Structure 1
Amino acid sequence: MKKNFILCGLIGWCLEILFTAFDSFRRRELTLVGKTSLWMFPIYGLAVIIKPLYQKLKNVPTLIRAFAYSMLIFTAEYIFGSILKKYRVCPWDYSKARTNIKGVIRLDYAPYWMLTGLLYEKILCRKKYEKHTL
């Protein structure tokens, strides 16, 4: 579980850096600077919960699982964003987005969170194949 926590934290960091770099490209900032925060590592690490959740939902259609993952991610984002915001250390502020909730969630990010959840599922729940020798 520790290894998967670290793996999830690293994947989350990488995804956030890529996402913010693409956003800078969209704003025509060709430096393509992507950024994240140390606070995000343990938050992304909590995606480790997707593996046991998948075990309960594996027979459920992919779209329903993706929706469940996005709701889980929104919940974590809301809780941790609210706590970090209280101490004025929240690394994100969505208050200018039309679909924000208290500046810590953007509902229009649901498709991204659905895909992210499915990516974590794919990585955390992959089958490990043994090499067979002839």
Structure 2
Amino acid sequence: MSEALILAFLFFMGCIVGWGIEVIFRRFKKENVSRKWVNPGFLVGPYLPLYGFGLCGLYLLASLENTSLIEEVTAGSKIVLFLIMAIVMTLFEYIAGLIFIKGMHVQLWDYSKEKFNIQGIICLKFSIFWAILGAIYYFLIHPHILNALQWLSHNLQFSFFIGAFFGVFMVDVVYSLNIVTKVRAFAKEKQILVKYEELRAQIRENAEQQREKLHWFLRFKSGTPLKEHLLKYAELNASDIKDFVRNNSVK
């Protein structure tokens, strides 16, 4: 079985499982007082690319034990491996966050209130979380991943569903980037940074006030034009936006 198919399969699994993890996590966040279900990420569908890339990275790192790079597996080598996993996942998170902030004037998540954070994109708490997740993956998930890959090698017809996933995924990427591009144009014009979660929460709250039916997946599709939501967002968050732009030099 080709390495490309293996990574495509892992990306597919990671995107969907990661989305489920984030949905549950956001459901019980202390900031979510009303305990509402929140569709995470900037895409419409039930998948998060960050976790897809993350699972591919964890798989490749865990597989190093089967190479000549690691002569003997010890407790120390495992700890080093978990630290490397945490660093890699944190790096994925930082690059993704930085691309959206610098390139799109959009902040998908905000760790600015967490201790030991860098630009509100990464922080120590979630780097520790990635290390724990790496350990969980190594001991509990990796053996099942190997079994799943073994199963896939004998059931290659399942690759049709992987292909279908990527087809839907790419359509979603185009659709979602179209929305982000509109947000970017507004943010660039006003020289502001738009916090995606806050904007979506505002749209949801506005829909509830006007008793509009807002689709859980199509979060930006409402009776009110996106431009109006953005103008209201800029007005309500003027002071926070100015502070963030000044501190992070977003241009």
Partner amino acid, structure 2, of 1:74: T
Distance 1:89 1:64 in 2: 34
* Contact 1:96–1:103, Cα closer than 8 Å, also in 2: yes
Q: Distance in 2 between matches of 1:30 and 1:82?
A: 30
1:9 to 5, 15, 27: 15
Q: Could you list the runs of 5+ residues in structure 1 that have no partner in the other structure?
A: none
Find the aligned partners of 1:28 and 1:91 in 2 and give their Cα distance: 16
TM-score (norm 2): 0.45
Task: Find 2:99's aligned residue among 83, 91, 105.
Answer: 83
Deviation at 1:116, TM superposition (A): 2.0
Preserved CA contact (<8 Å) 2:82 2:135:
yes
SS in 2 for 1:29: coil
Instruction: Show the counterpart of 1:94.
Output: 111
CA distance in 1, matches of 2:143, 2:105: 36
Higher helix proportion, which one? 2
- Cα distance between partner residues in 1 of 2:22 and 2:41: 9
- For CA contacts below 8 A with separation 6 or more, give which structure has more relative contact order: 1
Separation of aligned partners in 2, 1:63 and 1:17: 29
Q: How does 1:1-134 map to 2 (within 5 A)?
A: 1-23=7-29, 26-27=30-31, 29-38=33-42, 41-47=48-54, 48-57=56-65, 59-61=73-75, 62-86=78-102, 87-121=104-138, 122-126=140-144, 127-128=146-147
Corresponding pairs, count:
128
TM-score under structure 1 length normalisation: 0.78
Pairwise CA distance, 1:10: 1.1
Identity of aligned residues (%): 24
Q: Which has the larger radius of gyration?
A: 2
The answer (yes or no) to whether the contact 2:26–2:32 under 8 Å persists in 1 is no
Contact 1:8 1:46 in 2 (8 A): yes
Q: Confirm or deny: 8 A CA contact 1:57 1:65 kept in the other structure.
A: no
2:15–2:51: 8 Å Cα contact kept in structure 1? Answer: yes
> In 2 relative to 1, CA 4–100 (structure 1 residues): closer, same or farther, beyond 3 Å?
same
Distance in 2 (CA, whole Å) between partners of 1:35 and 1:109 is 20
Asked whether the 8 Å contact 2:11–2:52 carries over to 1, the reply is: yes
Q: Is the 8 A contact 1:21 1:35 kept in 2?
A: no
CA gap 1:41/1:82 in 2 versus in 1, 3 angstroms: same
Runs of 5+ unmatched residues, structure 2? 1-6, 67-72, 152-251
1:97 alignment partner, SS class:
coil
